[in-house]
């Protein structure tokens, strides 16, 4: 029988209790600004949900900001956080009118947004980050150069009353210089790498079995194949 996490801000029977995710969340809360490097299947989003729930409970009236590089990702995060949490969640992207973006920010506790939109709103004084108790950077490896993540990380640390940063990525890259730059730009203090072979993760994943089925190609596909191989 599946066990679920019980928390005053988490909807009942939604968050499966996986020890490694709870440990990742607890370590983030304990160690401070953290980057988690893990494949998509390991449920980094749920780790962010657990950290968010704790921050909202301990910082009454605060907000959580989740940044994602694209509109579809931001909306997907909104749906996920709404599924798990009992607080009001919304999304802010460039497709939302300016006045509506400010209204959504003011009325919600969890805001999922695209970084360029938030950067524009902050520069125009529509809202600020002072009450944001957790800032999540999804696909945090983008935090280099002039990308909006860099500006937002710096502004957040300067303005927030009680800041905490969580960076999530499946592909930080192999360039040590770039990884160091990301950590510096997002003020990361701890980097944790997880994969499906880790002892605490393995029990939750079954090996994938692949059955190969040979299919005879039609005459048209054979011709296409031949033309491709000629090139």
pTM: 0.87
**Residues with Cβ < 8 Å from 104, sequence gap 6 or more?**
90, 91, 92, 96, 111
Q: Residue 201's pLDDT band (boundaries 50, 70, 90)?
A: confident
Closest CA to 202 of 41, 2, 48: 41
3-state secondary structure of 65: strand
Q: Quote the CA–CA distance of 43 and 124 in Å, as a whole number.
A: 35
> Hey, what long-range contacts does 121-129 have (CB within 8 A, 24 or more apart)?
121/92, 122/152, 122/155, 126/98, 126/101, 126/102, 127/102, 128/159, 129/65, 129/155, 129/156, 129/159, 129/160
Q: What is the DSSP letter of 141?
A: G
Q: Quote the CA–CA distance of 204 and 201 in Å, as a whole number.
A: 6
Judged by average pLDDT, the poorest of 70-79, 158-167, 196-205 is 196-205
Dihedral sign for Cα atoms in the order 136, 8, 83, 97: negative
- pLDDT-above-90 percentage for the chain: 77
Q: Which tokens belong to 122?
A: 């902050």
Residue 231: the pLDDT is 45
Average pLDDT estimate for 42-50: 95
CATH topology of domain 19-230: Rossmann fold (3.40.50)
Residue 178: the pLDDT is 87
**Residues with Cβ < 8 Å from 132, sequence gap 6 or more?**
62, 63, 64, 65, 156, 160, 163
Q: Residue 28's pLDDT band (boundaries 50, 70, 90)?
A: very high
Domain spans of the chain, in order of start:
19-230
Task: Provide the greatest CA pair distance for the chain.
Answer: 68
**Is pLDDT larger for residue 38 or for residue 204?**
38
Unique residue bearing structure tokens 């893990």: 38
Residue 6: the pLDDT is 93
Residue 105: the pLDDT is 98
Residue 81: the pLDDT is 97
3-state secondary structure of 102: helix
Containing H/E element for 114? none
- Strand bridging mode 165-169 / 63-67: unpaired
Q: Quote the CA–CA distance of 139 and 114 in Å, as a whole number.
A: 12
């Amino acid at each position: 029988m599946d066990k679920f996490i019980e928390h005053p801000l988490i909807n009942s029977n939604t968050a499966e209790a996986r020890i490694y995710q709870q440990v990742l969340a607890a370590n983030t809360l304990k160690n401070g600004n953290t980057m988690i490097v893990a494949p998509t299947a390991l449920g980094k989003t749920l780790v962010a949900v657990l950290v968010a729930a704790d921050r909202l409970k301990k910082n009454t009236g605060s907000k959580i900001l989740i940044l994602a590089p694209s509109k579809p990702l931001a909306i997907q995060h909104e749906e996920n956080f709404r599924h798990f949490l009992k607080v009001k969640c919304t999304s802010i992207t460039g497709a939302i009118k300016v006045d509506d973006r400010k209204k959504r920010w003011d009325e919600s506790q969890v805001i999922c947004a695209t970084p360029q939109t938030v950067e524009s709103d902050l520069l125009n004084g529509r809202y600020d980050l002072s009450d944001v108790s957790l800032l999540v950077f999804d696909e945090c490896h983008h935090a280099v150069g002039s990308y909006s993540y860099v500006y937002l990380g710096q502004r957040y640390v300067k303005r927030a009353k009680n800041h905490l940063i969580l960076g999530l990525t499946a592909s930080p890259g192999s360039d040590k210089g770039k990884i160091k730059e990301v950590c510096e730009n997002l003020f990361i203090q701890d980097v944790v790498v997880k994969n499906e072979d880790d002892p605490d993760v393995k029990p939750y994943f079954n090996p994938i079995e692949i059955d190969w089925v040979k299919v005879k190609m039609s005459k048209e596909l054979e011709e296409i194949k031949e033309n491709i191989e000629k090139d």
